[in-house]
Amino acid sequence: MKKGIWSLIGFLLIIIGITALVLSVVGVQLSFLTWIDKPGKLAGFLARLFMIMSGFIIIVLTRTDWRQENED
């Protein structure tokens, strides 16, 4: 149950991050992410990259079988 929720959060972070990154290149913003560009364009870009990378990290951590890793 918890793995599914965390995987969903990871995928949502990736999808929203990539969408926001592509839209920012075009010059459009998602309305709920307008606060990201307040400090500057570079900070907004880094925040979007952080969203994408953290999504991948969450997915990798939830998909890892820790019991199998400890046995090896």
71 lies in some domain: no
Q: What is the mean pLDDT of residues 6-13?
A: 95
- What's the domain count of the chain? 1
Q: What is the mean pLDDT of residues 28-40?
A: 88
Q: What is the mean pLDDT of residues 12-31?
A: 92
Range of the domain at 46: 2-65
Structure tokens that stand for 40 in this block? 């500057």
41 lies in some domain: yes
Give the tens place of pLDDT for each residue, 36-56.
889 988 999 999 999 999 999
36 lies in some domain: yes
Enter the pTM of the model: 0.83
pLDDT at residue 35 tops 80: yes
27 lies in some domain: yes
Report how far residue 58's alpha carbon sits from residue 24's, in angstroms, rounded to the nearest whole number. Answer: 24
Query: CA geometry: angle at 33 spanning 14 and 21, to 5°?
Result: 45
31 lies in some domain: yes
Q: Give me the pLDDT at residue 1, please.
A: 66
3 secondary structure, DSSP code: H
Report how far residue 41's alpha carbon sits from residue 44's, in angstroms, rounded to the nearest whole number. Answer: 5
56 lies in some domain: yes
